[in-house]
Amino acid sequence: MGLKAVLFDLGGTLVGFPDDGSRSSRIALGEFLSQKGYDLALDSVVQISKRVWNTYTIFTDNTLIEVPFQRLMQSILYQLHIEDYANHDLIAEAIKHFYYPVVEDSYLLDGALNLLAGLKDNGIRLGLVTDNESEFFHNSLLQKHGLEQFFDSIVVSYKLGVRKPHKTMFLRCLDTLHVNVSEAVFIGDKPVHDIRGAKDVGLRCVWMKRKGYPTIPLEPDWTVESIRQLEETIFTELLTS
């Protein structure tokens, strides 16, 4: 059947991040807590937040269950012995400061907006299937880069309660776009979360190859290394077949 929809991953596929983003977030959190009057060593904030994050990633990788970042931040504040660790306003402020440097340093990959606009002009429905534990982080990225306007369906893990490669992530997007698996293609950069997840539901896949993932456990239908190559693949092969 002809191509009716294209589903995208976000981070690493349409939006890029600096390599040191995680450390910048932890330092920003430490500086915020210091400004709030908490007497904490910056290294303690960095190490405890890193430990909580590593525990979270192991858990989610093993279970595919999403954990809202409010709970992670509450755990960080608790382990830093902050008495007001459960205060919702403090948690919300801390999350904003934690993610602010990552959002500020994020960038659109060259050609991303032109690709999305070109697909819309050709009547293609667009879906976004992305893992994000934080509503603030997710919304800030979309707003900064003007991406929300392009998508007919946005499926994000903090709303659904599961993460890729869980089949529900992909199937929910297909359902809201009102297309069959055979009428869509998925594009992502992570071999397991993106490519294996999409393949498990029967989607054709384009792997956006990144230096952090030199190999892939499942063979994608197409492999590209830039938005320009992706655009050529879609418009010369997928839209003409």
* pLDDT for the residue numbered 211: 77
Domains of the chain, by residue range, sit at: 5-17+107-238, 21-105
Question: Can you tell me the distance from the alpha carbon of 227 to that of 231, in angstroms, rounded to the nearest whole number?
Answer: 6
| pLDDT tens digit at each of 241 positions of the chain | 689 999 999 999 999 998 877 899 999 999 999 999 999 999 999 999 999 999 999 999 999 999 999 999 999 999 999 999 999 999 999 999 999 999 999 999 999 999 999 999 999 999 999 999 999 999 999 999 999 999 999 999 999 999 999 999 999 999 999 999 999 999 999 999 999 999 999 999 999 998 777 677 788 999 999 999 999 999 998 887 6
Where does 5-17+107-238 sit in CATH, by number? 3.40.50.1000
Q: pTM score, two decimals?
A: 0.95
81 contacts: CB under 8 Å, gap ≥ 6: none
* pLDDT for the residue numbered 1: 60
* pLDDT for the residue numbered 174: 98
How many angstroms separate the Cα of 35 from the Cα of each of 38, 50, 177? 7, 21, 46
* pLDDT for the residue numbered 214: 65
Question: Can you tell me the distance from the alpha carbon of 239 to that of 132, in angstroms, rounded to the nearest whole number?
Answer: 30
